[in-house]
């Protein structure tokens, strides 16, 4: 039986599509790489407007059903927004001439997670590290209201083309939206997914399946990844017996392994002896796996992030939440992490008889750390439950209109201020999360108000220079940039950096981000400074900051991390502000190559790098290379961010200026006029409107131009894009 079929599917499935399809639009189908009851997956080549390899899944949804059509459209809209380094990118969707819906996705030339690890004899720690990345992808989808419902090793491909293994979650073909699409309902007895990885509620076709069904499936994947066996045999033809079995607690992985005929081979595939593997599983890992796979939803981890966090605690040698806490257990974990110190304390105990207090004191410290971890987990679950409730609440059939993200956020924000009255830190985390969401929608005033409230709560609870407070202060400084003079924000960011380094250390993420933001803001400030000597000094200081920022990020995060690519772009933007274009160009070019390889072209950050590189090449006189790159960047940002997103309009301004500068007057004027119209809701003083109007005035078009310093207008555009790429993580 194919692993994409279930016992409830008719044995007379529709004919395979291989013989019928050779091409879909600009896609030439080369071979089938997956087949199941729900459809076929092809490796294909896109021939225009660019060449690339893609994967196309052609499904068999009943297009005669209004409910199915609504659900497919809702899925298409949501999946198009999933932009995560561990999720295969969805490029577009449509229907074949015969009416079969299809999805065009990033093609991953990799193996399934289990096969990849087995062939390379990865040990338990390496497997868990990759699995944690997969959990982060699932959590990202959940936060955007998408439940995968078909998580299994073959749907977690490992792409190692960059030199390091990167798990990629694929196949959202039967994903479910937390907030149901209009007309959607669960058909009684309809079971979609792969039986052996399905939760009890999914097996029983429950109408209220939530994100914890994916947590269960992740637990099964982890069980097999670590122990080499499945918790239960493949489903038999007796559906009732199968449902009864999946509703009982599974046997511990270590015990299931002991019963396997090929146990020695399984251990060898992990580079371990059988006894070492059983011992490695029989403590925390047994507990973690079984908690993820608890038949009752309320006993599972509350989210994929909680599962990942407990696995990280295991890797770090801390007590895990899944295992009951005893004094002996906590003490053993402390000793495991501090073997040298503990051995020395033991020698002193034997010699002096008084050093037992060292270990006892350590135990108390460890216990407090564990209690803090429990508090963090409780906070995360409370916030997750609150947001899921908000996301599930809107019913478009009641209001008769499309429910938008902003509607859900407004409802959530109004309730968040009164939520968790006895837990101010939980309320602060919730307010900050909502503020960040508003900032992502360019609703800056609302974002700033929410983050300010979160900062006040955290300062009162933990102090002004605590990690939580400094982290939130950085979020606030980033959100407030468009709303106040750049000199004020620059001074605030410098003050934050100078307080973060002694409090948290230079390599802490908050310190690194503050350094980056301070350097970037200095470039803006230099562009608004009429004193050329002062402006030059600011740019040199910014250059030093961005060079240090890049070194720190490469050391802390690695050269291919998204945060490091942001820093590389910001350094290049600073070099451009100093008119050192020949030094900036190779940095942008290197970064674009990395981002295309790591994140794909349909990625906001990849496309803004492309815009920066186009501008730099234009300034180097390489106009023939720059113009197609401008167009490619603009087309991509319109597709990824939307036609009126600030990043899209910023690229449109830069492209329009270039068209005017190089002879395509009518097209340049049309582009800049269009920016003013699309940006009207942000007000006449918005920097994009001001730049578009000034460029039109310089071209002799009769447009009123608000007063604005002209210094550095073209040269700081790259820094604007660079700042937009910064992450507070």
Catalytic residue set: 150
List C-alpha distances in Å: 174 to 1, 38, 83, 136: 18, 9, 18, 20
Residues in the chain: 729
Which token pair is 323?
């295992």
User: Tokens 């690890």, residue?
Assistant: 117
State the Cα–Cα distance between residues 584 and 568, nearest whole angstrom.
Answer: 10
Cα–Cα distance measured from residue 198 to residue 246, given in angstroms and rounded to the nearest whole number: 8
What element of type H or E holds 59? strand 52-59
Record the tokens describing residue 238, joined without a space.
């007796």
The continuous run of DSSP H or E covering 31 comes out as strand 27-36
Question: In terms of DSSP H, where are the helices of 282-355?
Answer: 284-292, 304-316, 327-337, 339-352
Q: In sequence order, which residues have a C-beta less than 8 Å from that of residue 332 and are 6 or more positions away?
A: none
Are residues 527 and 708 in contact, defined by beta-carbon separation less than 8 angstroms?
A: no
State the Cα angle at 295 between 294 and 297, rounded to 5°.
Answer: 80
What distances in angstroms separate CA 391 from CA 21, 72, 182, 410, 723, one per listed residue? Answer: 39, 19, 15, 11, 30
Ramachandran region, residue 481 (left: φ > 0; alpha: ψ -120 to 50; beta: rest): alpha
Q: Which of 575, 509, 433 is nearest to 726 (CA)?
A: 509
Q: Write down the H helix ranges in 560-664.
A: 562-577, 581-599, 604-619, 623-640, 646-661
Report the SS3 class of residue 684. Answer: coil
Count CB-CB contacts under 10 A for residue 178. Answer: 19
Under DSSP, the state recorded for 87 is B
Element (H, E) at 43: strand 39-46
Reading the block at residue 95, the tokens are 């229907």
Strand order in the sheet with 23-24: 23-24, 27-36, 39-46, 52-59, 101-106, 90-95
Element (H, E) at 277: helix 274-281
What is the Cα gyration radius of the chain? 28
**Distance from C-alpha of 693 to C-alpha of 206, rounded to nearest angstrom:** 57
Please check whether residue 470 is in contact with residue 500, taking contact to mean a CB–CB distance below 8 angstroms: yes
Please state, in angstroms and rounded to a whole number, the distance separating the CA atoms of residues 711 and 338: 58
């Amino acid at each position: 039986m194919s692993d994409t079929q279930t016992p409830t599917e008719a044995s007379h499935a529709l004919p395979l599509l291989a013989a019928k399809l050779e091409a879909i639009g600009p896609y030439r189908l080369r071979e089938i790489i997956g087949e199941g009851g729900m459809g076929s997956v092809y490796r294909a080549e896109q021939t225009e407007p660019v060449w690339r390899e893609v994967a196309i899944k052609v499904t068999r949804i009943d297009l005669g059903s209004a409910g199915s059509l609504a659900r497919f459209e809702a899925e298409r809209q949501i999946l198009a927004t999933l932009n995560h380094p561990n999720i295969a990118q969805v490029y577009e969707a449509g229907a074949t001439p015969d009416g079969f819906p299809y999805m065009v996705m990033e093609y991953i030339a990799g193996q399934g997670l289990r096969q990849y690890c087995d062939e390379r004899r990865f040990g338990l720690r390496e497997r868990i590290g990759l699995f944690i990345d997969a959990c982060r992808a699932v959590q990202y989808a959940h936060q955007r209201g998408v439940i995968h419902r078909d998580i299994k090793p073959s749907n977690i491909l490992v792409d190692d083309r960059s030199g390091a293994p990167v798990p990629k979650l694929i196949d959202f073909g039967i994903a479910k939206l937390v907030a149901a699409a209009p007309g959607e309902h669960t058909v009684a007895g309809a079971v979609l997914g792969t039986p052996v990885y399905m939760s009890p509620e999914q097996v029983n076709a429950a109408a209220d399946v939530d994100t914890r069904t994916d947590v269960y499936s992740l637990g099964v994947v982890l069980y097999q990844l670590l122990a080499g066996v499945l918790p239960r045999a493949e489903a038999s033809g007796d559906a009732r017996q199968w449902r009864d079995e999946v509703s009982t607690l599974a046997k511990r992985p270590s015990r299931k392994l002991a019963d396997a005929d090929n146990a020695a081979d399984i251990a060898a595939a992990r580079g371990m002896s059988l006894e070492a593997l059983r011992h490695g599983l029989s403590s925390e890992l047994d507990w973690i796996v079984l908690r993820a796979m608890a038949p009752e939803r309320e006993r599972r981890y509350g989210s994929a992030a909680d599962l990942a966090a407990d696995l990280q605690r295991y890797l770090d040698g801390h007590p895990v939440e899944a295992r009951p806490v005893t004094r002996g257990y906590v003490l053993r974990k402390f000793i495991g992490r501090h073997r040298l110190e503990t051995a020395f304390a033991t020698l002193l105990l034997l010699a002096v008889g008084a050093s037992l207090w060292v270990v006892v004191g350590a135990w108390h410290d460890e216990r407090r750390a564990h209690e803090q971890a429990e508090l963090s987990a409780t906070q995360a679950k409370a916030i997750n439950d609150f947001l899921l409730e908000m996301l599930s609440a809107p019913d478009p059939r009641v209001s008769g209109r499309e429910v938008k993200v902003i509607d859900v956020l407004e409802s959530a924000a109004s309730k968040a201020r009164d939520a968790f009255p006895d837990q101010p830190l939980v309320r602060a985390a919730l307010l900050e999360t909502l503020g960040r969401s508003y900032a992502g929608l360019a609703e800056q005033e609302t974002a700033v108000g929410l983050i300010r409230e979160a900062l006040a709560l955290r300062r009162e609870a933990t102090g002004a220079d605590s990690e939580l407070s400094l982290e939130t202060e950085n979020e606030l400084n980033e959100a407030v940039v468009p709303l106040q003079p750049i000199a004020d924000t620059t001074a605030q960011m410098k003050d934050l950096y100078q307080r973060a380094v002694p409090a948290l250390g230079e390599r802490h993420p908050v310190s690194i981000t503050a350094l980056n933001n301070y350097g970037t803001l200095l470039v803006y400030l230099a562009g608004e400074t009429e004193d050329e000597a002062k402006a030059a000094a600011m740019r040199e200081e910014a250059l030093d900051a961005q060079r240090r920022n890049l070194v720190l990020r490469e050391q802390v995060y690695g050269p291919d991390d998204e945060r490091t690519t942001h820093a590389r772009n910001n350094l290049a933007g600073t070099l451009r502000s100093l008119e050192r274009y020949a030094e900036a160009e190779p940095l942008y070019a290197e970064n674009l190559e990395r981002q295309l390889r790591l994140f794909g072209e349909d990625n906001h950050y990849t496309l803004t790098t492309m815009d920066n590189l186009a501008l730099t090449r234009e300034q180097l006189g390489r106009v023939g290379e720059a113009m197609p790159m401008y167009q490619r960047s603009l087309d991509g940002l319109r597709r990824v961010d939307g036609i009126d997103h600030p990043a899209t309009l910023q690229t449109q301004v830069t492209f329009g200026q270039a068209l005017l500068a190089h002879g395509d007057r009518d097209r340049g004027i049309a582009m800049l006029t269009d920016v003013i119209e699309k940006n009207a809701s942000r007000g006449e003083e918005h920097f994009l409107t001001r730049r578009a109007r000034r460029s039109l005035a310089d071209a002799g078009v009769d447009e009123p131009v608000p007063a604005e310093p002209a210094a550095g207008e073209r040269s700081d555009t790259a820094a604007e894009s660079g700042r937009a790429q910064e992450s507070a993580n």
